[in-house]
Amino acid sequence: MTHDKLRHIAIIMDGNGRWAKARGLPRIAGHRQGVNAVRSLVRDIDDLGLEYLTLYGFSSENWNRPQSEVNDLMGLMRLYINRDLKELIERGVRVRIIGARHNLAPDIVSLIENAEQRSRHNSRLTLAIAFNYGGRDEIISAAQSLAEEVRKGNLSPVDITAELFPQYLYAHDIPDPDLLIRTSGEKRLSNFLTWQSAYAELVFVKTLWPDFTRQNLIDAIDEYFQRDRRFGARPDEEKHSIQEMPSATIKLIK
Ligand code: IPE
Ligand code: IPE
Ligand code: MG
């Protein structure tokens, strides 16, 4: 009996604003609660023994929000790294931040570099935070680097293959996500992991991000294990029925 191993979960953490609105609170309150949800999620993911987790924290399009909200989100990123890095390192988490750096405040760039540097030898869980991230930006930047290699004569256009191309993306050492979850009921990718999610299993849940619990995570994982990943090949006739499947936690650890 074969199961598609689950190594990498990617999450579009959406719905902070609506969570706050429903309580008559300012949007920042929703973002703060969203950070608390991140903290518990990372602990749960670590308990389950997953290898890679990517979280969408700030998109290249989120600059289009009012300046005050952008400032709040930048402030929360600072706070998160300052407050949580110690625990992450103690847990053996390797931290990576994927996204553009050139238009971020210098102190945030330093915090990011420090977090990556201090956690680089950890090997339990890799936590990638997509911050100032856009899938199209990432592809364009890879295309520019490849074009430069061709211009210098180091590469020929025919060398640019599906194996080579992703080596020029932000995190070439992180495998493609197996499971991509979006909260809050929206059913779109919003420029997240555009190249990498070509074959991800997509799970959309109605829960708003600040309310996302361990049970929501387990349910999404269970749904993943009920899917038949074909990658364009024939259906897997050996696939076992839902009833025979062990629970998500057990499968993840194997
Ligand atoms: C997700 O929550 C967090 C970020 C995009 C940073 P939103 O702020 O998008 O919340 P909604 O979608 O307005 O409810
Ligand atoms: C995507 O959510 C970005 C993050 C979760 C960080 P948005 O709320 O910004 O996406 P849209 O605007 O609904 O597509
Ligand atoms: Mg949103």
CATH number at residue 113: 3.40.1180.10
CB atoms within 10 A of CB 80: 19
Q: 38: CA distance to ligand 1 center in Å?
A: 14
**pLDDT for the residue numbered 163:** 97
**pLDDT for the residue numbered 234:** 81
pLDDT(198) > 50: yes
What share of the chain has pLDDT > 90, as a percent?
A: 89
How far CA 138 is from CA of 10, 129, 170, 181, 190, in Å, comes to 16, 14, 7, 20, 14
Q: Catalytic: 14?
A: yes
Q: Which domain holds residue 129?
A: 8-134+175-253
CA distance 95 to 116: 5
Any atom of ligand 2 within 6 Å of the Cβ of 10: no
Any atom of ligand 2 within 6 Å of the Cβ of 236: no
The two three-digit tokens of residue 190, written as one number: 């919003």
Banded pLDDT at 239 (limits 50, 70, 90): low
Q: 14: CA distance to ligand 3 center in Å?
A: 5
**pLDDT for the residue numbered 254:** 47
Closest atom of ligand 2 to CA, residue 61: 9
Angle at CA of residue 74, ends 215 and 124, nearest 5°:
45
CA distance 89 to 87: 5
Q: Which residue among 18, 21, 211 is best mutated to probe the pocket of ligand 1, counting the most ligand atoms within 8 A of its Cβ?
A: 18
**pLDDT for the residue numbered 237:** 64
Cα maximum dimension of the chain: 60
Q: Is residue 63 part of a domain?
A: yes
pLDDT(34) > 70: yes
**pLDDT for the residue numbered 4:** 76
Tens-place pLDDT, residues 143-183: 999 999 999 999 999 999 999 999 999 999 999 999 999 99
Backbone phi, psi, residue 245, to 5°: -75, 135
Closest atom of ligand 1 to CA, residue 21: 14
Q: Which of 4, 44, 46, 62 is catalytic?
A: 62
Any atom of ligand 2 within 6 Å of the Cβ of 12: yes
Tens-place pLDDT, residues 70-119: 999 999 999 999 999 999 999 999 999 999 999 999 999 999 999 999 99
The residue whose C-alpha atom lies closest to atom 6 belonging to ligand 1 is: 58
Greater confidence (150 vs 241) lies with 150
Banded pLDDT at 235 (limits 50, 70, 90): confident
**pLDDT for the residue numbered 249:** 57
Residues 14 and 183: beta-carbon distance below 8 Å:
yes
Residues 170 and 137: beta-carbon distance below 8 Å:
no
Q: Is residue 169 part of a domain?
A: no
CA distance 22 to 125: 34
The two three-digit tokens of residue 154, written as one number: 């180091």
Domain tally, the chain: 1
**Alpha helices (runs of H) in 94-233, residue ranges in sequence order:** 106-119, 135-152, 214-226
**pLDDT for the residue numbered 243:** 45
The residue whose C-alpha atom lies closest to atom 9 belonging to ligand 2 is: 62
Q: 174: CA distance to ligand 2 center in Å?
A: 22
